[in-house]
Each structure stands twice: as structure tokens, then as C-alpha cells.
Structure 1
């Protein structure tokens, strides 16, 4: 069987969960001798793809470019990828993102993965130029089969795109093995710092960072005993700094880290808890990574998150600052609750893996041929 992944997401993301998903599929498929899977991104901007090494001929990763040069590089990559993909003549083309036009080669079947419906449910938070709603619906309706990464996303796909249920499957994601506690080397520099709660990823809009900070600041105990550490999502902005000071936090009480999975794994290891206050998630990999690392999870009770976290989380209504505060205090001031969540987390995380995700994806490919 010959499977082609198109170049779309590798031109859009430098890092990011979607490119990580396809890179992990490629790793798992590479080990199966009856498969010939290739990622067609002859030039791209994605560090996850560049790091695949022997698992993939990943093309050439470009540095950050000015907008005009980036657009030119993207167009060159698309044209060259179409030529290479046609020459490859795949049985399956797995589209990595949403496009109004396809890469379909003769006799190829099209598979599309849909991740979430944030732009549909929270359209007021995005400008029109960044919305994916129209191309997503076009891509979903033309695909021979659509993969959703949670039951929550599957329900949204039916509601917003009217895709027939028989053309939809759910395959859950996994956490990379580097996040398992036994694989993490502690960092003395983190252990010597004040106790902290961890926030991972983008802090904009539906991620509800402001609500989390307000809830944290409303507790005299939390402010006295803990700091906030953020990972990813870019450096803290002036507006975020001002907001945290306006609710009474010290200038140095919120710290930001970026960088590699190794740094993030160490943060999970040392954190007192992961706080995940999103209004909506299509899946939510950070709670899975935290559970693997032995970090208690305090999470929103919305969308897909109960599917991922199961009985291993302390839940709250993300629209209620008081509920977020109470949930954090319930965990952070109870050693018994912390230990219970850690043990439940290990069991819950073990239900998910990239190997299982790849096997279920391969079964979908086979069903189309």
C-alpha cells in the first residue's frame, strides 16, 4: 500500500500538535514493511518534520522568512509536491489540513483528519482571514473518509459539515514516550524554584488564560504559595503582564519557557499541577502528556477533555472563575487527592498510544481499497 501525506500543515506550523500527529503516524508506519508512506513537503517550515531523521525523507526546512518570500516558498513547495505526488501514484492521500482544492491522483482515495471546530463555535474570536470553516467543510465533504480525533469532534463534524456517519471514524492521539516519568531527568534549577502550576500552549481566546489567572489571583493561599509557569505560545505580552499585575500578582510570579520537549517534560515533572482551562479542545494533548509525567491534571469539563482525562482529573466549569479556584485548591492542598490523580493518570494515559492511533488509521486505509 502506498500512502501520501500532503505538505499543507508543514507549511503552516513550525511546531504544533497537528504536525506532531502526522510525524508520529509516519514513525509508526515506517516500521511496517508492507507500507510505503511518504510526506510530500519538499520545502517546508516545520521542525517536527525536520527532526524525523531516518524515519522520513523530510525535504528541506527553511528558516523564518519575510512574508513575501514565505508565500513564494509555499507556492513552489505546493507545485513541486503535486508533481512528486502524481509520480508516486499513491493508493491513499491523507490530507493534513483543509484546502478548497485537492491533491488527488488518479484512483487515489482521500482521507482527511479533522481536529476541532473552534472557528465554528467561537467565530467571534477569529478574524475572517484566519477562519478555516469554509475550506474545512469543502475538504470534509469531498473526502472518501474523515478521521476525527475525539467523539466530541465527530459530533461537531456531523453538526457543522453534515458528513454521513458511515464516512467518519474516531482515532485518539497519543503522548510521546519522552513525557513518561521514568524517561525524564529532573532539572535541579526547577526543583530549587518556588512551587508552581503549569499552563501549556497558546494563551489566546478560547484557551481562557485570563480566566485562569483571575481565578488564581482570587485565592490568597494560591498567590502566597505558588507561581505560574507558562510553556509555549510565545513570550508573555505586555497586555498579559499588565493583566496579571492588575489582578494583584507580582511581576515575577508568572514565568515563561519555550523550547524542546525535554524542557516541557521537566516542567511536567516538577509542576504541582497542570491547569487546563480551555473553553473547547478537539482533543488536548497536554493533559495526556501531564498524566504520563505524573503531574496532576486540573481541567475544564468541556468538549473532548473528559474523553481524554477520564477519571484522572479534577474538573471545573471554565466559565466560572470561582469553580477554577476551588478545583485548584482541592488538588494543591490535598496530598491524598494529588497522589490519587497521579495514579489514575498513569492508568488513563496507558489507554492512548501513537501505535494504537497508527493501527486504527491503517485499518481505515484498508477499508477504502
Structure 2
């Protein structure tokens, strides 16, 4: 049984992981496969639709997530309702793909994507940190095994919580087939609607929040020669995140100066085109559990400059130019190379495409199924 609570449309991050995993598990022909969405079991995944709101959580939900008492009430009621839905199914393996496991009489597997709520607490609201730490402590008591997105996180989790490595399994994520190289002719219609041209911009995609280190990128890009910035402006796409007011002020100033475009949220059907049309993808993040946009860029045939923090060296496999996330000078140097050096760009494209081929959602599902089997047979 797979919890599909993270599947909310439009799909991002953990929702994308859960949805793609569920689709691939369905293709395995598992007769007993069920999905728990909310408090209801079903044999079908939630259906993808961009008709859902793209403006983020409603105001009342955002308030509830920040309110200590509302969170406390939810933490008391939610597990009881989920436990009731799972009653009588102890012969199954239950998988929580988003840190959380409800009470369950059978064996359980939990995916821990990163430990940012422990080691990068400044990147989250205080109530979220408190909630995530408490829920993860409960999940660890209930789990038979842990899945992580990378070997880096596997070892980080083992060190932090003291679990033996043989009970923690690294299962890589993947990019979808929609992330692939595209011709200028195929890119032009969508990009023209965004007032962009193929190969004529650098790109950052990610939630606008401190952990993504967008401030360092803005500082470095502002130091490029004006002719370079004008020829290849920086395009930024992503939701408005936590502690982002100052970042948005800087985005507006750069936009007024003519060398930046902020697109906000980009719909799922537009995102692969926007990615494939970029001249360079830049991702200076401080901390990642995987770094899926970097893999999607490589799969799209776009050269990548990213930080060397946490999991990114494992994902890029030497195919990207890397810098210390706090070294703005190094980032500036690589921006110049990535935009101007055609020899490096050609090499980076080839290496990136080859590295991206090592990842697939089908392999993710096979490796996850192997964890289920290990747990069931233990």
C-alpha cells in the first residue's frame, strides 16, 4: 500500500515522486496494490489535472500550518483516522513516501528525502520544524525500513539517527520523458508566449526561499558584464516560499534593470519547454535531498552550473560545473564559462545527457519494490 497524500496538482517535488512511483508500481501488475489517499483506500491513483489551484494552499490552511494548536489537534486526529482505514491489512507492506507513517499492524517503509528540518532548520518556519521532527520520531519507531533518495542522505540518516545501514536503502529519483532536448522550432511557440527565445536565457527553477541560495545567484549575475546580462538574461521560475520578501524585492529591481525575468509558477506542460530552451541552468542550492531540477536540466541537454552541496555531486556525476554555495566569485566565473565557452558547453551537454540516462522512474519503482520484498520476507 502506498500513501498518495503528497499527490497534489500541479505536481512538484515529493508529489511528483509519489505519483511516478505509483504509476510504475501499477505497471508491475501487483494484484494487491492499493493507494491510501486521505482516509480512503483505492486501486487507482489520484488523477493529474492542472485544473487544481496553482496559487498554493488556501489562506486558512496556511494559517493552520503555522498555528501550534491547530497542528497539535491535527497530529492527534490524523493518525487515528488513517489507522482505522488500514485496519485488517497487516499482511500488506505500507509505504509512506513523505516522512510520515501512521500506526499500522503490518510492516512499514518510510521515505526520508532529507534531514533539512534537523540540519538546516533556518530554512523552515519554527512550527514546521517542530512538527516534522515529532512526526519523524514516530515514523522511525514504526518503520521496518527507510528509503532515501541518495546514498548521501542514506549515510546522513544513519549517522543522525543511529540506524544500521542495511535497514536504509538509497533509491534514486528520475526525470520524466518530457524532459528531453528539443529543436528551436519545437520550442518557439511556447517560448514566444513567454516573450523568450530558444537558447537566449539562463534559468533557475525552484521555490523562492533561503535554502535555494538565490541571493548568491542574483549577486553573481549582477556582476556579469552588462552586455552579457542583456544578451542572456536570467529567468527565475518558482513558487513564492518562506522568508522570501527580500528576495522578491531584489527580483523586482533586477527585472526593472532589464536583466531578469521572474515568471512565478510555471505549469507542468510549460516547464519542460522552458527547461529545454535554456542556454544554461543554474542551481546554487545550500542543501538538497536530491536536486531533481538539475537532473531534468541534464536530461534536456542543457549545461548545468550548480553548487557542490550535499547530494548534488552524486546526482550530477561529474557532468556539471560545481562551486561552493557560499563562493560567489566561483559562481560568477562559471556563469561566464557556461554562457560564453562553446567548447565547455558542448562537452557539458553530452556528459549531462549520458548521466541522466542512468536514472529512470521504472528503475526507481523496481528498486522500491525490492525494498518491499526485503521487508515482507524479514
1:198 counterpart = 2:203: yes
Q: For 1:255, what is the secondary structure of its paired residue?
A: strand
1:298 counterpart = 2:292: no
Q: How does 1:95-106 map to 2 (within 5 A)?
A: 95-99=96-100, 102-105=102-105
Is contact 1:174–1:357 with CA below 8 Å preserved after alignment?
A: yes
- Structure 1 CA distance, aligned partners of 2:366 and 2:271? 27
TM-superposed deviation, 1:299: 0.8
- Structure 1 CA distance, aligned partners of 2:120 and 2:282? 21
1:133 counterpart = 2:127: no
1:276 counterpart = 2:272: no
CA-atom RMSD in angstroms: 3.2
Is contact 2:99–2:111 with CA below 8 Å preserved after alignment?
A: no
> Which residue matches 1:85?
86
> Which residue matches 2:257?
250
> Which residue matches 1:56?
none
- Structure 1 CA distance, aligned partners of 2:36 and 2:14? 16
Relative distance call for 1:289 and 1:26 in structure 2 (3 A) is: same
1:29 counterpart = 2:25: yes
TM-superposed deviation, 1:193: 2.9
TM-superposed deviation, 1:246: 6.2
Relative distance call for 1:203 and 1:78 in structure 2 (3 A) is: same
TM-superposed deviation, 1:186: 1.4
Is contact 1:111–1:143 with CA below 8 Å preserved after alignment?
A: yes
TM-superposed deviation, 1:164: 1.3
TM-superposed deviation, 1:308: 0.6
> Which residue matches 1:176?
176
TM-superposed deviation, 1:75: 8.7
- Structure 1 CA distance, aligned partners of 2:252 and 2:85? 53
In structure 1, list runs of 5 or more residues that go unmatched.
54-61
> Which residue matches 1:325?
332
In structure 2, list runs of 5 or more residues that go unmatched.
50-55
Is contact 2:181–2:300 with CA below 8 Å preserved after alignment?
A: yes
1:62-93 deviations in Å (ceiling 9; x for gaps): 99473389979999876554333225555101
> Which residue matches 1:9?
6
Relative distance call for 1:177 and 1:324 in structure 2 (3 A) is: same
1:22-61 deviations in Å (ceiling 9; x for gaps): 11111011112234222211479xxxx64359xxxxxxxx
Question: Mean Cα displacement is larger for which, 232-241 or 265-274?
Answer: 232-241
1:225 counterpart = 2:223: no
Relative distance call for 1:126 and 1:153 in structure 2 (3 A) is: same
- Structure 2 CA distance, aligned partners of 1:249 and 1:277? 23
- Structure 2 CA distance, aligned partners of 1:40 and 1:118? 26
TM-superposed deviation, 1:248: 9.5
- Structure 1 CA distance, aligned partners of 2:48 and 2:256? 41
TM-superposed deviation, 1:226: 1.9
Relative distance call for 1:141 and 1:154 in structure 2 (3 A) is: farther
- The match for 1:312 among 319, 322, 335 is 319
TM-superposed deviation, 1:346: 1.1
Relative distance call for 1:140 and 1:16 in structure 2 (3 A) is: farther
- Structure 2 CA distance, aligned partners of 1:229 and 1:317? 22
- Structure 2 CA distance, aligned partners of 1:179 and 1:247? 29
Q: For 2:33, what is the secondary structure of its paired residue?
A: strand
TM-superposed deviation, 1:257: 4.1
Question: Mean Cα displacement is larger for which, 314-323 or 74-83?
Answer: 74-83
Question: Mean Cα displacement is larger for which, 70-79 or 116-125?
Answer: 70-79
- Structure 2 CA distance, aligned partners of 1:225 and 1:319? 26
> Which residue matches 2:52?
none
Q: For 1:40, what is the secondary structure of its paired residue?
A: strand
Question: Mean Cα displacement is larger for which, 183-192 or 163-172?
Answer: 183-192
TM-superposed deviation, 1:293: 1.1
Question: Mean Cα displacement is larger for which, 311-320 or 221-230?
Answer: 221-230
Is contact 1:43–1:73 with CA below 8 Å preserved after alignment?
A: no
TM-score (norm. length: structure 2): 0.82
Is contact 2:10–2:268 with CA below 8 Å preserved after alignment?
A: no
> Which residue matches 1:66?
60
- Structure 2 CA distance, aligned partners of 1:359 and 1:300? 30
Question: Mean Cα displacement is larger for which, 230-239 or 132-141?
Answer: 230-239
TM-superposed deviation, 1:358: 0.6
